[in-house]
């Protein structure tokens, strides 16, 4: 039976919005408190006329993750899942008014900041700040008449984020990319999805160049390449493969966000490129097992 190419199963709008070494971190991020600073009185003793107050420190400080593209269809899901997992989030957005509408969450652990990846690494470093311990890049260009937009956002914008991390000593970087970015080398140059996504500004080529930059940067990375993105809830389990393996298939954005967040938690994801789709007949596997099954190249 003929299989419809993965990206052609979605609307054109869905296609375009889908993608929209100084280590100071351990290789795995958890929400374990890293410092305890606030004071609380836990007992008062009276002996004769003397009162002794015992003071202890017992307040957790959550690890903060910077999310670029936080108001995008995938980015906002990443923000929600990070908060649900107990992380603090600094949401980098271009439009603060849009962010207040898109990120309907009054959590004290959510901070919304203005950030444009195309404006250079110096400004990004100021926004990411010393309090961020990892960066997740979920940006994607907006289709229009500017054929250089994919390169400005998906290539140079990602490079700017990496350089900002290097300036700050942030040593954990998660990128949401796409399957078929290396389609030419896979023998998929005539794949309709590969052709379609490269028509406007060579989008996949721009993403691939950004991936190569990350891999040479020395930063601990996880590059997540999802198949065609769906806004609907998951209908199957995650299938994870090594790079340049998958050339069709789709996946819910909720699962893509979950993979990005779980990559922060499991050291098995370090320095790896993973390709993901969802299949109804796939067995349910833990993320530790999924990441662990992928060999580094």
**174 phi/psi in degrees, rounded to 5:** -115, 125
The residues with which 273 forms a beta bridge, in sequence order, are 223
Q: What is the pLDDT of residues 96-123, one digit of tens each?
A: 988 888 887 788 999 999 999 999 999 9
First-residue to last-residue Cα distance in the chain: 34
Q: Quick check: is 82 in a domain?
A: yes
The neighbour count for residue 271, using CB atoms within 10 Å, is: 13
Statement: residue 24 has pLDDT above 80: no
Q: What is the pLDDT of residues 52-77, one digit of tens each?
A: 444 444 445 788 999 999 999 999 99
Q: Quick check: is 61 in a domain?
A: yes
Q: Quick check: is 64 in a domain?
A: yes
Using CA atoms, how far apart are residues 26 and 31, in angstroms rounded to an integer? 12
Using CA atoms, how far apart are residues 176 and 67, in angstroms rounded to an integer? 11
Strand 172-176 versus strand 88-93 pairing type: unpaired
Q: Quick check: is 254 in a domain?
A: yes
Using CA atoms, how far apart are residues 286 and 265, in angstroms rounded to an integer? 12
Q: Quick check: is 119 in a domain?
A: yes
The structural domain count of the chain equals 1
Where do the H-state alpha helices sit in the chain? 12-17, 75-84, 96-102, 121-128, 149-150, 158-168, 192-199, 203-216, 253-265, 287-292
- Whose tokens are 């009185």? That residue is 41
* b/e per residue 191-220 (b: at least 16 CB within 10 A): bebbebbbebbbbbbbbbbbbeebeebebb
Q: What is the pLDDT of residues 184-230, one digit of tens each?
A: 999 999 999 899 888 877 899 999 999 999 999 999 999 999 999 99
Q: Which of 190, 161, 165 is CA-nearest to residue 176?
A: 161
Using CA atoms, how far apart are residues 113 and 169, in angstroms rounded to an integer? 20
Full residue range of the structural domain in which residue 199 is found? 6-292
Statement: residue 291 has pLDDT above 70: yes
CB 226 within 8 A of CB 73: no
Local structure of 20: helix, strand or coil: coil
Using CA atoms, how far apart are residues 126 and 255, in angstroms rounded to an integer? 31
Q: Quick check: is 1 in a domain?
A: no
Tell me the CATH number at 34.
3.40.50.720
Statement: residue 249 has pLDDT above 50: yes
Q: Quick check: is 297 in a domain?
A: no
């Amino acid at each position: 039976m003929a299989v419809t190419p993965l990206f052609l199963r979605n609307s054109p709008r869905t296609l375009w919005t889908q993608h929209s070494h100084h280590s100071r971190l351990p290789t795995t991020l958890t929400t374990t408190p890293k410092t305890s600073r606030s004071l609380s009185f836990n007992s008062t003793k009276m002996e004769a006329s003397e009162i002794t107050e015992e003071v202890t420190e017992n307040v957790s400080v959550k690890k903060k993750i910077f999310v670029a593209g936080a108001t995008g269809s995938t980015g906002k899901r990443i923000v929600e899942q990070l908060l649900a997992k107990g992380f603090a989030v600094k949401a980098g957005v271009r439009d603060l008014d849009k962010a207040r509408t898109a990120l309907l969450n009054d959590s004290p652990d959510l901070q919304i900041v203005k950030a444009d990846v195309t404006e250079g690494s110096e400004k990004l470093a100021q926004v990411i700040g010393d309090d961020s311990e990892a960066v997740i890049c979920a940006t994607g260009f907006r289709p229009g008449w500017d054929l250089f937009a994919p390169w400005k956002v998906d290539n140079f914008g990602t490079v700017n984020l990496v350089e900002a991390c290097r300036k700050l000593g942030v040593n954990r970087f998660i990128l949401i990319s796409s399957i078929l970015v290396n389609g030419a080398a896979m023998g998929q140059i005539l794949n309709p999805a590969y052709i379609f996504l490269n028509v406007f500004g060579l989008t996949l080529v721009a993403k691939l160049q950004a991936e190569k930059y990350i891999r040479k940067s020395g930063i601990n990375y996880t590059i997540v390449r999802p198949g065609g993105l769906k806004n609907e809830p998951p209908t199957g389990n995650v299938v994870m493969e090594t790079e340049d393996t998958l050339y069709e298939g789709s996946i819910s954005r909720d699962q893509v966000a979950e993979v990005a967040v779980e990559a922060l938690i499991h050291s098995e994801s370090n320095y790896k490129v993973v390709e993901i789709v969802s299949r109804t007949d796939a067995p349910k596997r833990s993320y530790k097992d999924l990441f662990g099954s992928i060999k580094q190249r």
